[in-house]
Amino acid sequence: MEYVPNNWFNSKHINLENLNHDAHDLLHNGFLFKRQRINKNTINWLCKTGGCSGSVTVNKHDEKITRNIEHEFVIFHKHLSEVELAALNFKKNCKVRSELEPSLSTGKIFHEEQSKIAQETNATYQELAQVLPSYSNIKSTLQKRKKKTLPPLPRALKDLNLDGEFIKTVKDEKFLIYKSRDNKILVFSSPNQLKALAEADHWYADGTFRSSTNFHYQLYIIHAYVNHHMLACCFALMNRRRKKHYIKVLNALKKESKNLNLILNPSYVMTDFELAAINAFKDVFRGINSKGCLFHFCKALTKKISSNEVGLKSELEKNEELIKWFKGVCALALVPLNHSDFIFEKLLKDQPNLSKIERFMDYFVKTYYEGNFPHEMWNHYETEGYPRTNNNLEGYNNKLNRHLSVAHPDIFKAVNKFKEEEVDVSIKLCRALNKEKPPARKKLNILSDALLVNYKKMLENQEISIDTFISSNFVT
């Protein structure tokens, strides 16, 4: 005799003290019984086969059968097979997980449980097809279960009222540290995440649009680099990307850290050349060294020279002279600062005789050479022991997008995902502070870094010329 979940089973019934066996059926001798009546000392169970008066009476205290009325029309009764029992558990698991894991799509849960039952039973696919529901048949049930755990979705941002579990971590600590009056800026960061920011003097920041909610323009994430571990420490949902909005996010971090007796004093931040964010960091953290991502620098130059305005995309793929010259332009980010003017003049002198190349150089000069981004911001010659790009952050954003499984999720799904990430960061912070080995880097990146260090030493020792330095293979 055992108890199996029925269609009414949900997360609240996962309780060993469920003495009345709510939302369960009784499985006895291969037949299913539904609960008929609860008495003072016993529970009556009636056969679930229509028209059958077979029943079982079970003592509530010792679970022993005190009365057993035989089934009628036994010839038409069918014992539940192993695969049918597995199918009951399949439905239960799908329903319960839809309630307990609202950040996952019901489709993902369904397919995970379907793979699990195929692996854990000896049933053939034909047998499974006969007992398992299709996703289309169970989809609405799972989505209703999922919505049970979430508040009603607001129709507009002004109607949003985050409270309860959505402003706390899973450890019941403060998580929502700032909310603008109109909900256009929401900043999430836990005590552990703020501790990581306080521990790190190198920060890395990047925005993603796909993971932002359906009410917000972007999700801005600030990472702390602690003992070679990159940790996501702030999730800021934002409707605008002006300097004043970034300042509100950064001031919220400073204020909450102060409440926790933590001091935020980063000496370095890397962004993707977004001027509003750069200036906000400089205003809030005086003296901070702001760097632009090397990957974004090269990507912006490649995009410009390949644009319709310049029109050199095809030439960049086949013209060796242009390829070598353009590589030299990108290499300005890796040469010593005191050589940059000399290299730039040489690039001007040696530029290929191609139409519209002047348009590209005008853009480069106005944007990076004499524009809003000074040499020090995009030059990485002195960057050693720390990432020169935000590629790690791009990878994190891609992972976040995959886990959320939809573009622009609803606010509750997004916050639940932030809470999951907060748990992961808290564990990783402990590993970082214990100076455990960080995740392995790609061998190609390790080799590229070693090559750059070697060429820098040779340049400083005057063993190679600056021309040899910028034409080396580490420049991509």
Q: Average pLDDT of the chain?
A: 88
- pLDDT tens profile 61-76: 777 777 777 766 555 5
Both tokens of 125, joined, read 């696919």
The answer on 179 and 134 residing in a single domain is: no
Give the bridge partners for 235, in sequence order. Answer: 188, 221
CB 9 within 8 A of CB 95: yes
The range of the structural domain enclosing residue 374 comes to 294-385+442-470
- pLDDT band with cut points at 50, 70 and 90 for residue 32: confident
Rounded (5°) CA angle 40-54-73: 175
Over the stretch 156-178, which tens digit does the pLDDT of each residue have?
Answer: 888 899 988 899 999 999 999 99
Residue 28 has pLDDT above 80, yes or no: no
Provide the token pair at 172: 């019941």
The verdict on 72 and 32 lying in the same domain is yes
More confident residue, 15 or 231: 231
Q: What angle do CA 181, 185, 189 make, to 5 degrees?
A: 115
- State residue 444's pLDDT score: 80
**Is 476 within the bounds of a domain?**
no
Q: Per mean pLDDT, which of 54-58, 292-296, 349-353, 463-467 is the most reliable? A: 292-296
HSE-CB for 216 with a 13 A CA cutoff: 29
- Residue 286: inside a domain, yes or no? yes
Mean pLDDT, rounded, for 45-72: 77
Mean pLDDT along residues 404-424: 92
| Same domain, residue pair 464 and 347 | yes
The answer to whether residues 106 and 215 belong to one domain is: no
pLDDT of residue 260: 98
| Residue 323 domain flag | yes
Residue pLDDT, tens place only, 81-112? 778 878 888 988 898 888 888 777 888 899 99
> Is it the case that residue 187 has pLDDT exceeding 90?
yes
Q: How confident is the model at residue 443 (pLDDT cuts 50, 70, 90)?
A: confident
Task: Judge whether 475 lies within some domain.
Answer: no
Question: Where is pLDDT greater, at 161 or 53?
Answer: 161
- Are 224 and 392 a contacting pair, CB within 8 Å? no
List, for residues 202-231, the tens digit of each pLDDT value.
999 999 999 999 999 999 999 999 999 999
- CATH for 426: 3.30.420
**Most confident of the ranges 28-37, 257-266, 338-347:** 257-266
Q: What is the mean pLDDT of residues 10-28?
A: 65
CA distance 253 to 245: 13
- Report the b/e string of 122-131 with b at 16+ CB within 10 A: ebeeebbeeb
Structure-model confidence comparison of residues 6 and 467, the more confident one: 467
- What is the total count of domains within the chain? 3
What are the E-state strand segments in 7-122? Answer: 24-28, 31-38, 42-47, 55-59, 65-69
At which of 119, 148, 177 does a domain end? 148
Shared domain for 16 and 144, answered yes or no, is: yes
**pLDDT computed for residue 12 by the predictor:** 61
Residue 450 and residue 420 share a domain = no
| Residue 22 pLDDT greater than 70, yes or no | no
Q: Which of 297, 282, 463 is nearest to 380 (CA)?
A: 297
- d(C-alpha 169, C-alpha 231), whole Å: 17
Confidence of residue 453 (pLDDT cuts 50, 70, 90): confident
127, 15: one domain: yes
Tell me what pLDDT residue 10 has: 62
Tell me what percent of the residues of the chain surpass a pLDDT of 90: 48
> Is residue 89 located within the same domain as residue 21?
yes
Answer with the one of 148, 180, 204 that is the final residue of a domain.
Answer: 148
Distance separating alpha carbons of residues 87 and 94, to the nearest angstrom? 11
Q: Is the pLDDT of residue 17 over 70?
A: no
Residue 153 lies in a domain: no
Cβ contact 191:174 at 8 Å: yes
404 found inside a domain: yes
Supply the pLDDT for residue 87: 85
Residues 245 and 183 in one domain: yes
**Residue 175 belongs to a domain:** yes
10 Å Cβ neighbour count for 233?
28
Residue 369: is its pLDDT beyond 80?
yes
* Of the residues 117, 148, 179, the one at which a domain ends: 148
Give mean pLDDT, residues 110-118. 92
What local confidence, expressed as pLDDT, does residue 18 receive?
61
Asked if residue 455 and residue 399 are part of one domain, the reply reads no
Nearest-angstrom CA–CA distance, 289 and 336: 17
Q: Where are the beta strands (DSSP E) in 239-338?
A: 268-271, 289-292
What six digits make up the tokens of 403?
């886990």
Residues 259 and 287 in one domain: yes
Between 50 and 284, the more confident residue is: 284
Give the H/E segment covering residue 445. helix 443-460
Is residue 199 predicted with pLDDT exceeding 90?
yes
Torsion of CA 326, 331, 332, 333, to 10 degrees: 130
Same domain, 363 and 257: no
Kindly state whether residue 414 falls inside one of the protein's structural domains.
yes
Task: Check whether 418 has a pLDDT greater than 90.
Answer: yes
